[in-house]
A and B are shown apart, each in its own frame.
Chain A
Amino acid sequence: MEFLSYLISGISLGSVYAIIALGYTMVYGIAKMLNFAHGDVIMIGGYISFCAMSYLNFPGWLALILAMVVCTALGVVIEGLAYRPLREATSLAVLITAIGVSYFLQNSALLIWGATPKVFSPIVEGTQNIGGLSVSNISLLTMAACIVIMVVLTLFTSKTKMGKAMRACSEDKGAAQLMGINVNRTISTTFAIGSALAAVAGVLMCSAYPTLMPTTGSMPGIKAFTAAVFGGIGSIPGAFLGGILLGIIEALAKAYLSTQLSNSIVFAVLIIVLLVRPAGLLGKYVPEKV
């Protein structure tokens, strides 16, 4: 019984990681860059919907849509200003720029909203009692959203024209361009989708763990990055699986081993998994050709 309740905490936490990791893996898969500013876009999404709900009295769903619109715009602007000029540069240069963007977003949020933590009012209240275990509605919503997003993204990338263009860019940018694909537009679209997902993740995360500070996004961002790598970065089902497993491991480690070292245990499991499967759980291992 206790075990089940720990498991449920783990899955709830894991679904938050998973939803962030989906955005991460989407951007990585297509643009081949580690977008360290992703966590901060989540934080911005949280603040936007917080403001919409508490100052403009928007209902939860409308605040969510507003946050998605603002974050999408933000994502496209960041991509256009900071990442596009570096398309031909080394991946490390882009990584450092992403870190610069992350600092920029955090410090802007600090100036705009101040350092005092805000308490986010959840977009969905209440709990459900399933077989004697209480599960909060927000966790159920997060899990549902997670599964829906995973399915939609998988279908999008495999069935639609834009999705196919994205996969083509991911395989080989030069060849894709020769085939008449507008690489810049494709990557912008990817960022737009990734940032919209970040906004959703922000609102759901802040609803589940209701405080909001300028640094709220950074640690979940790193965890989600870990989750994405765990599942095989670039793989959409992999990000989902990685996120959920990470949450479960973290919760069980806290419950049975040590609350102190739960983070280390998560990372240790990650290291072991990567040593056995160097491309993550569901990642494609591409052998080098001579």
Chain B
Amino acid sequence: MKRWISLLLAVCMLFTLVACGPKDDKQDQPDDSNNDQQQSESAGTYKFGGIGPLTGEAAIYGNAVKNGATIAVEEINALGGVQINLDFEDDVADGETSVNAYNTLVDWGMQCLVGTVTTGACIAVSAETYKDRVFTLTPSASSVDVIDGKDNMFQVCFTDPNQGTGSATYMAANMPEAKIAVIYRNDDAYSQGIRDTFVAKAAEEELNIVYEGTFTADTATDFSVQLNAAQAAEADLIFLPIYYQPASVILKQANDMGYKPTFFGVDGMDGILGMTGFDTTLAEGVMLLTPFSADAEDDLTKSFVEKYQAAYGEVPNQFAADAYDAVYILYNALEKAGCNPDMSAEEICEKLIEVMPTLTYTGLTGTDMTWASTGEVSKMPTAVVIKDGVYVTA
């Protein structure tokens, strides 16, 4: 009978584990705004959820979003009016874990979701938020599938087609004779998505693509073969619809080979100058389409970068800026819709869906941003070129 007993014990343990899950107090997120919260209890507190990869390979993006959003929340709480309580959960950039994180947040009483950060996970979560009627604003999940057919989903970042066609149009207008090579990551929804729309638009514009090379997460250490092949195909412009970490390796390796084409990136390239130890001369002449530049001279960007550096010791990238804007967009939209913190997630969701298409917002990542009712943002990507280690408008 020993086995019976142990089986029974195991089942009991399981239940306690499962049952104890949600009861851990999630309220213990005081930030450093406890005082303000007490002063303005009458205005109430919104519960914002956030989901993104805080551990694992994509941890840079999740942490940037978390930090950016936290700064915005602290600023808003310091104003004294309505308060925001942000709970940011880890999803390791995985759809399954992301849905688990989302369910945890629903149990906590989340009213709006800022997330999720990565595209694949966001699609999985957006199906749930759509069913549950939770208003969701993703700072950085850029695929069309994220918003497709879901009226409660809005994006702060550009959609992939927007970036792909934007890049192709820019090239057609400014360097129509270029021989283009594309190097992208083909096991990544973001990279593949931009590449697909770029190639389609490039064909339309009659651009000359001489080489396409791919890599995967497993082969992201060495790019010398792709670069050699691009050089052999006499490419003088390399389009890199990838994130900045592999891009920095590509720049280094091309430089070592003595191969000096023009590199053209997208918003994922932003952040390359802020990498600890990166030799910025390597990025000299790199062009990219980006909505955010940490070197911009306006007061908003300056104050954000300053606060971010003081709090986290690094230069914020585009993800952090998108998240900062996302929190403010939600804050403004909630105000405009006349919501209050006592309303349920469903009520807030319906009101915000009505308000979003009428909202105009100017923030770190764009001036006069507006939204279509599909959830897509309309803002202008600016083409910048890196000169002497800083962005200069091209």
State whether B60 touches A115 (Cβ < 8 A): yes
Establish whether residues A211 and B245, one from each chain, have CB atoms under 8 Å apart when the complex forms: yes
Within the assembled complex, what's the spacing in Å between the Cα atoms of A250 and B216? Answer: 13
Given contacts A110-B59, A213-B57, contact A250 B256 (CB under 8 A): no
Contact A9 B256 (CB under 8 A): no
Cβ contacts under 8 Å, A9 to chain B? 222, 224-225, 228
For chain A, the bracket of interface size reads 35 or more
User: Which chain A residue has the least Cβ–Cβ distance from B275?
Assistant: A119
Q: Are B63 and A114 in contact (CB under 8 A)?
A: yes
Q: How far is the CA of A10 from the CA of B224 in the complex (A)?
A: 9
CA distance A77 to B217 in the complex (A): 31
Q: How far is the CA of A61 from the CA of B313 in the complex (A)?
A: 28
**Are B232 and A2 touching (Cβ within 8 A)?**
yes
B226 touches A211 (CB 8 A): no
Q: Is the CB of A119 within 8 A of B224?
A: no
Let me know if A119 and B248 touch, CB within 8 A: yes
Least distance between A4 CB and chain B CB atoms (Å): 10
Contact of A262 among B219, B245, B246 (CB under 8 A): B219
CB-based contact B275/A260 at 8 Å: no
Q: How many angstroms from the CA of A208 to the CA of B221 in the assembled complex?
A: 9
- Which residues on the A side are within 8 Å of B314 (C-beta)? 114, 116
Q: Interface-forming stretch among A148-156, A191-199, A214-222, A234-242?
A: A214-222
Contacts of B252 in A (CB 8 A): 210
Q: Check A6/B245 contact, CB under 8 A, given A119-B277, A127-B256.
A: no
Q: A250 near B219 (CB under 8 angstroms)? A: yes
- Confirm or deny: B258 has a beta carbon within 8 angstroms of a beta carbon on chain A: yes
In contact, A54 and B256 (Cβ under 8 angstroms):
no
Shortest CB distance A134–B (Å): 6
Q: Which residues of A contact B55 (CB under 8 A)?
A: 107, 110, 115
Nearest residue (CB) in A for B183 is A259
Nearest residue, chain A, Cβ from B247: A211
A265 to B37, CA, bound (A): 59
A residues less than 8 Å from B256 (CB atoms): 127, 134, 136
| CB <8 Å contact, B225 and A251 | yes
**Given A209-B249, A215-B57, A255-B229, A54-B276 contact (CB < 8 Å):** yes
B342 contacts partner chain A, Cβ-Cβ < 8 Å: no
The distance from the CB of B393 to the nearest CB of chain A, in whole angstroms, is 26
Residues on A with beta carbons closer than 8 Å to the beta carbon of B186: 260
- Residues in A with CB closer than 8 Å to B57 are 213, 215
| Interface size counted on chain B using CB atoms at 8 A | 40
User: Which residues 1-52 in A have Cβ within 8 Å of B in the complex?
Assistant: 2, 5-6, 9-10, 12-13, 16, 50
A170 within 8 A of B: no
Q: B275: which A residues are within 8 A, CB to CB?
A: 116-119, 211
How long is the Cα–Cα vector from A115 to B52 in the complex, in angstroms?
Answer: 13
Using known A-B contacts A117-B275, A118-B276, A213-B245, determine if residue A13 contacts B258 with beta carbons closer than 8 Å: no
A261 to chain B, nearest CB (A): 9
Contact across chains for B63 and A209 when beta carbons are under 8 A apart: no
Q: Which of A110, A210, A213, A259 has the most CB of B within 10 A?
A: A259
Chain A residue nearest to B54 (CB atoms) is: A115
Q: How far is the CA of A2 from the CA of B230 in the complex (A)?
A: 11
**Restricting to A121-146, which residues have a CB under 8 Å from any CB of B?**
121, 127, 134, 136
The complex places the Cα of A54 from the Cα of B275 at a distance, in Å, of: 13
CB of A277 closer than 8 Å to a CB of B: no
- Quote the shortest CB–CB distance from A51 to chain B (angstroms): 10
Collect the chain B residues with CB atoms within 8 Å of residue A254's CB. 213, 219, 225-226
A120 within 8 A of B: yes
Q: Which parts of B188-222 form the interface with A (CB within 8 Å)?
A: 213-222
Min CB distance B219 to A, Å, is 6
Q: With both chains docked as a complex, state the minimum distance between the C-beta of A112 and any C-beta of chain B, in angstroms.
A: 13
A54 touches which of B60, B258, B277 (Cβ 8 Å):
B277
**Is B372 interfacial (CB-CB < 8 Å)?**
no
Q: What's the minimum C-beta distance from B52 to chain A, rounded to whole angstroms?
A: 11
Asked if B257 is at the interface (CB within 8 A of a chain A CB), the reply is yes
Is B278's CB under 8 angstroms from A119's CB?
A: yes
Residues A210 and B218 in contact in the complex (CB < 8 Å), given A107-B55, A115-B60: no
A211–B282 Cα gap in the complex (Å)?
14
Q: A116 → chain B, closest Cβ, in Å?
A: 5
B56-A259 in contact (CB<8A):
no
The residue of chain B having its C-beta at the shortest distance from the C-beta of A216 within the complex is: B221
- Chain B positions within 8 Å of A54 at CB level: 276-277
A215–B56 CB distance below 8 A? yes
Residue A97 is within 8 A (CB to CB) of chain B in the complex: no
Q: A9: nearest residue on chain B (CB-CB)?
A: B224
Q: Flag if A117 contacts B222 (CB, 8 Å).
A: no
> Taking A107-B55, A259-B213, A260-B186 as contacts, is the C-beta distance between A119 and B276 under 8 angstroms?
yes
Q: A215-B57, A259-B213 are in contact. List 7 more A-B contacts (CB 8 A).
A: A2-B228, A9-B228, A134-B257, A210-B248, A213-B60, A251-B222, A260-B186
User: Closest 9 interchain pairs by CB?
Assistant: A115-B59, A9-B224, A119-B277, A119-B278, A254-B225, A259-B214, A209-B221, A115-B60, A117-B245
Give B contacts to A, CB under 8 Å.
Answer: 54-57, 59-60, 62-63, 186, 213-222, 224-226, 228-229, 232, 245-246, 248-249, 252-253, 256-258, 275-279, 314
Ordered by A's residue number, 16 sampled pairs between the chains whose C-beta atoms are within 8 Å are: A2-B232, A12-B222, A12-B224, A116-B314, A119-B279, A127-B257, A127-B258, A209-B253, A210-B252, A211-B248, A211-B249, A211-B275, A219-B221, A251-B225, A255-B228, A259-B213
